[in-house]
Amino acid sequence: MHFFQINEKLLIMKMHYFFGLAATAPIIPFLSTISKQRGYSPLIVGLIFTVSSLVSLVMRPLVGFITDKYKCYKLALMASILTNFAIVCALLQMPDSAVRDEINDAYLFRSPLFLMYFVMIVLFFTSVGVKTVTEDTICMNLLGKDTHKYGKQRVWGAIGWGTSSIVSGACVDWYSKGQEQKNYLPGYLISLLCYIIDLYAVSKIKVVQKNNDKIIASNVKKLFTSFKVPIFLLWIVVFGVFNSFIWYFTFWYMEDLSNIYHPETKPWIKTIQGFSLTVQCFGGEIPFFYLSGLIIKRVGHMNVFSLMFFTFAVRFFLYSIIKNPIWVLPVESCNGITFALAYSAAISYTCLLSPVGFEGTLQGIVGTSINGIGSPIGSFVGGYLFNRFGSIFSYKILSGVALTTCVSQIVINQLTNRLSKPKRVEESPCTTPKIDERFNNITQKNDI
């Protein structure tokens, strides 16, 4: 009897998630404060993130369609990793802004240095979007009928993200000791090293090429004409909106707390920020990614989203009353529900809905809903709110919006269930049944 057995294919996938997200952790969360240090206003930072997400709006479904058609998932993933590596190298060589105070917004668009930075960030986010679509499609391919085990693979990305973020944050503080501004060189170097290891891991992945099944037009039409699917995509968009306030503006908010209430924390604020990501991952994402399959089976996909919206309301409210950035750390454990559990529900539900041969395309559509529609809306609104009301009051407003969304989602979900057929059919593995059977199973399940 084998008490301990290693699945080599999934081990390599775990390695990819670990090093892939460990490579982005020193970059993406710190971009708002890097931009702030360069003299860019909250409105400009929000604009950068908005444009980056809008480009993903086109690229994600396009890449999904191309990889489905030509079965080039691995090639696309390796290309995205190489692109990210090149962009981090370019950011590493880019000179700092000579201006230390906030720069006039109108002037920025005449600055070649700003335009170069703008283009690099947009390309980086676009490449990350391609990576996300292809890696999730490959993961589902390797899992086969065991799609409920997705969370157990993706949890290693959370471990990589949490580990890399605290290490890079501490290294930036250490390397910047005695300097007026933070020097992000250690973070860039950690990112480059992780991308090299990640590229090696991806080169070892063996993707099982399925038969080139034809996508039946009637099945795709049935998929998008069901009223439950547009509603599902609506909540996915809102999920992206709320998460953008976590991804792009939390560090800005923490620096505001440090500057306004506790200036004694400024010398080690990057360590605090990096540790906040570690708490997000180890205190929240890891347990919920691991348990996501069990939770989703018990409560249903849409009930997971109800819980997620309520937790966002609580999380934003806590942000609005905290004075010391240290106390942000325990709040970050909410990320297990607001991201890990909800994201696992979204990915597994998308796989269950997808017609054969349409997997990458539909994953691309869901990714676009999160990062290409929801995220730019949140980025633009976040930039406006932070610029107009400040970070602390903005989170108080968002708390009310999230609570209203939670109530609305529960009501709409109940109405949707009443309009559905009462018959319950067990969900089938997304890779084995015919699309007609699979689609009927999902749309008839009253807890979707």
In the predicted structure, residue 190 carries a pLDDT above the cut 60 = yes
pTM over 0.85: no
In the predicted structure, residue 73 carries a pLDDT above the cut 70 = yes
Which CATH superfamily, name and number, covers 8-208+215-444? MFS general substrate transporter like domains (1.20.1250.20)
In the predicted structure, residue 212 carries a pLDDT above the cut 60 = no
Rounded CA gap, 341 and 20, in Å? 20
Three-state DSSP class for 357?
Answer: coil
Per-residue pLDDT band at 100 (split at 50, 70, 90)? low
What is the 8-class DSSP label of residue 100?
-
Q: What confidence score (pLDDT) does residue 6 get? A: 65
Three-state DSSP class for 429?
Answer: coil
Amino acid 173 reads: D
Q: What confidence score (pLDDT) does residue 253 get? A: 94
Q: What confidence score (pLDDT) does residue 303 get? A: 92
DSSP alpha helix (H) spans, 204-341? 217-225, 228-247, 250-260, 269-278, 286-299, 301-321, 328-331, 335
In the predicted structure, residue 157 carries a pLDDT above the cut 70 = yes
How much is the mean pLDDT over the chain? 83
Q: What confidence score (pLDDT) does residue 155 get? A: 86
Q: What's the whole-number mean pLDDT along residues 160-179?
A: 92
Which of the two residues, 210 and 134, has the higher pLDDT score?
A: 134
Report residue 380 CA to chain centroid gap: 17
Q: What confidence score (pLDDT) does residue 224 get? A: 62
Q: What's the whole-number mean pLDDT along residues 98-102?
A: 57
Rounded CA gap, 383 and 249, in Å? 8
pLDDT > 90 in the chain, percent: 45
Task: Note whether 182 and 116 are within 8 A (CB).
Answer: no
- Please choose, from the candidates 298, 279, 297, the residue with its C-alpha nearest in 3D space to the C-alpha of residue 287: 279
Which of the two residues, 226 and 124, has the higher pLDDT score?
A: 124
